[in-house]
Structure formats: structure tokens, C-alpha cells
Amino acid sequence: MNYRHAYHAGNHTEVFKHAILVMLLEHLTQKMQPFMVLDTHAGVGLYDLESEQAQRTGEKVDGVEKIYDVGIPSCQRYFDIIKSINPGKLRHYPGSPEISRHMLRPTDRLIACELHPDDYLELENRYRFDRRVTVQNRSGYDAINALLPPVERRGLVFVDPPFEQKDEVQSMISALKKGLRKWSTGIFCFWYPIKDSKIGDALADAVVSAQYPKALRIEFLPFKKDGMNLAGSGIIICNTPWKMDEKAKLLCRDIAPKLGDGRGTWSIKWLTEEREPQ
């Protein structure tokens, strides 16, 4: 499938994964020490919901439009960020780098990688005056291998690919393996779309086989799986922050009645617990 961000901005998968992203960033801001965020597939940062791409799919209707006037009690900061870029009616939706930028403190930093040349130029222009943000025109998977561990020794790797390549899952598994080898204490968050169970199960099996530390699998489906249409999405987190499972449960309970057809299902499962030191 092709999941280029502009065509899916503000849909139900975006609401789910970006609310989880905010929760992870909130965890990092609880300590005074600075942190780094590596966003491997950054997109353009901010999306016009009235653009030709967004209008073509109309996916915001089953996503952000359904929570814009009611909010999400379990993740108020996510809702506040959306409101802050829409002083009036809902028109724009923040991508992952924009959400991260909103939550950075003066000492924190974001490295946003985007391989598509046009999207890279737009992203670079958007953040050219923010010294906390570095934009790189490179493969995010290569960046994991090249840029870790960060000097801060604290932070998050957020992997949100468009799933244009047939070997995307294997690339994700390889990147996670290399990343954790270089930065064993970093938080790694991998997102995937759900039409059927193949992608999520493959990622989960790799995590379980390698016994990566504190691995949590979260899936949220506003629609029933049929193997063809986008039913929902999932996230696998390694080095999961404390109480993230409880926070994710509250989030899913909040958004399940609101997104999609209102009969959403969700699951939260620990794949591995904290690994004992060798």
C-alpha cells in the first residue's frame, strides 16, 4: 500500500498514532535532562486538509473531524496542538515533526528525515529558523544506523513509513535491530497500517524472537478487517515508558466510540517484559 502522508492527513490512523506520540513525548519532558527525537519518515510537517490530496481521499471525515469539537480527555496535549494551529475552523493537521516541535524545550532537538525531494524542500523551509530542528534529505533507516546513540542519551526514534516498498517490514525489523544494538536504552516506536494481520504479526514475531526489552503492541481498528481496506493501525514500542499501557488503554477507550463507524476495537499486549541485564 502507499501511505504517503498528504493523502491520509487527519484520518483515524493519524489520530491514534499521533496521540501515542504525544504521550511518549510527555514522558520525556518529565525529566529536566534534554532529549532527541529522530523522525525517520517526516513528510512535510503540516497538512492542508482542503488540499487536492486530502480532498481526494476525504479520510479526515472519519478521523480528526470527529474529535475536533469534543477533544480527547486522555490526551489533552494532542488536542491542544491541533487547536493551536487552527484558530478558527479545522483547516490544518500537524504531522509528526510538527507535533514533536511543539513539545520540544529549548534544550531538546528534533532530527527529521525525508527522502522525497519535494517534501524535503518544504520541510526544510518550514523549520529553517528553528535551531532545535535539523532536516535531512536521507533515508530514515540509514539515519538510525548513522546517528545513534545521540549525545543526550535520552529520546525517541519514531518510525512511520509510507509502506511503498515491498520489503518495508524487513527494513523496519533490520532498523530496529541496528538501532537497539547502538542505543539499548532509547525508546523505539514503530507504526504500521492494518488491512490484515500480516505486517503486525511479522514485526511482533521479530521483537519476540529477539527478546527486545519492554516491548508493547497496541492496535486500534475503527473498522472491521477485510484484507483490502484500511481498518486501523498498530504501534510497537520498545523500551516502553512506565504506565504507557494504561495510558494507551484510556486513549483507545476515548476514541473507539468516536472514530470510524463508532464500533472500533483495540488490543494492548506486552510482547516482552524488561530484560534482565547480562
Give catalytic residues, as residue numbers. 160
DSSP per-residue codes, 116-180: SHHHHHHHHHHTTT-TTEEEE-S-HHHHHHHHPSPTTS-EEEEE-----STTHHHHHHHHHHHHH
* Cell numbers found for residue 258: 468516536
Contact (CB, 8 A) for 28 and 154: yes
Count other C-beta atoms under 10 Å from residue 273's C-beta: 12
Nearest to 38 by CA among 157, 126, 140: 157
Q: Kind and range of the H or E element at 12?
A: helix 12-28
The upper half-sphere exposure of residue 128, i.e. CA atoms within 13 Å in the direction of its Cβ, equals: 6
Beta strands 232-238; 187-194: pairing state: antiparallel
**Are the C-beta atoms of residues 276 and 213 closer than 8 Å to each other?**
no
The percent helix, strand, coil of the chain (3-state, each to 5) is: 40, 20, 40
Task: At 1, list the grid cell.
Answer: 500500500
CB neighbours of residue 227 within 10 Å: 9
Q: Tell which residue, 155, 119, 105, has the closest CA to residue 47.
A: 119
